[in-house]
Amino acid sequence: MTTTTTAFVPARRVQRIKESPSSAAAARVRELKAQGRRILDLTVGEPDFDTPANVKVEAIRAIEAGETKYTPVNGTPRLRAAIRERMLRTTGVEYADDQITVGGGGKQVIYLTFTASLDEGDEVIIPAPYWVSYPDMVRANDGTPVILETTAENRYKVTAEALRAAITPRTKWLVLNAPSNPTGVLYSRDELEALGRVLEDAPHVRVLTDEIYDEIVFGDERAVGLAQAAPAIRDRVLTVNGVSKSYAMTGWRLGYAVGDPGVVKAINLLQSQTSSCPSSITQAAAAEALTGDQSFIDESVSVYRERRDRAVELLSAIDGLTPVTPDGAFYLFVDCSGLIGRRTPDGTVLENDQDLTLYLLDHAGVAVIQGSAYGVAPFFRMSFATDLDTIEAGAAAIAGAVADLR
């Protein structure tokens, strides 16, 4: 008897989303390297530093002590205490246990937030440029991403006037990411207070503030969050953070959020039916990262600052490129509009930023990510979470490739 198998058709929620452009770029780099090509990879959004020694030692201690069992859904008491302590120390805001949720990375926490809160037709305002995953996370959870354009004049930050115009009766969330991926820009306290005043007039709108890069700041003052700057709306602000970027723990997978107990309870309910809890070993390591020796942050940020300054200097010297000087994080967002319309040595016209990034990859062996993936074109994003030699070699290769354009 012959049977046939019906071709698998993904659920509509899956069909609505696309592969992460950063993941696709990383896969292409791996493929080319496997073919023997020398590729200068400037796509990677993770620190090139090793995890701090005290954090690794604590993970080993936890393993040897048998701390390898299930934990409460919202984390071990020790981790929750560490999160409370860290938030009070860095923001001056005190949170209770029922205002804390933890997950397998900040990305999972953000996804579960949308799963817990969005119904079909709910709108989420996302300023562009944006981290590539926000719109697809919203779509996957039946929401409608509302992309809010920003301008160079405002350093690609949403203004109070633009926010007010974008809010509708169906707006459920505003997403704020600062320091931003991909621009690295920060909001000042005055700018956040102005946004807060708009939100006071829109009590149905909540704000998800993604502050995963808040320790990687290049000025003299640390980043200010919306929950600090606008206490009148604090009960509607869900602040998401984690240990991945600040402590070079991307693979450990630990993120957290603090905010309204009702939102947190719904996220924790979903967590209980998905992964149950984050890794117990990672939780022990994260508690040490948040409350232990913090010298790694100062040391790594000093290195990032040096790399930023060098990268800005080199890219600014290339005809047709204008980088946005970041306040934090470890990315350059580079305006490449001056190169669109030029011809490659084989006569191909560069019609958009994706054409340019493919040209740089094929002609110069430099991997960057097109700005259109972040909702703004023509740009490309270059990571400086790599050594100075790679940054300088990459910039030189880009300069050579640009010089070959006609």
128-142 mean pLDDT: 97
Q: How many other C-beta atoms are found inside a 10 Å radius of the C-beta of residue 256?
A: 27
CATH 3.40.640.10 in the chain, residues? 69-291
Strand blocks (E) in 89-184? 100-103, 123-128, 144-149, 171-177
With the CA atoms of 348, 372, 211 and 22 taken in that order, what torsion angle do they form, in degrees rounded to the nearest 10?
-60
pLDDT digits (tens, 9 = 90+) for 199-216: 999 999 999 999 999 999
pTM summary value? 0.95
- pLDDT confidence of 6, banded at 50, 70, 90? confident
- pLDDT confidence of 248, banded at 50, 70, 90? very high
**Domain covering 12-50+296-403, topology:** Aspartate Aminotransferase, domain 1 (3.90.1150)
Residues 6+ apart with CB under 8 A from 222: 90, 214, 215
| Rounded Cα gap, residues 165 and 187, in angstroms | 19
Mean pLDDT of all residues belonging to the chain: 96
240-244 mean pLDDT: 98
Question: What is the number of helices (H) and of strands (E) in the chain?
Answer: 14, 13
pLDDT digits (tens, 9 = 90+) for 326-377: 999 999 999 999 999 999 999 999 999 999 999 999 999 999 999 999 999 9
CATH 3.90.1150.10 in the chain, residues? 12-50+296-403
pLDDT at res. 90: 94
- pLDDT value at 321 more than 80: yes
pLDDT at res. 13: 86
User: Domain 69-291 carries which CATH code?
Assistant: 3.40.640.10
30-48 mean pLDDT: 89
pLDDT digits (tens, 9 = 90+) for 217-226: 999 888 999 9
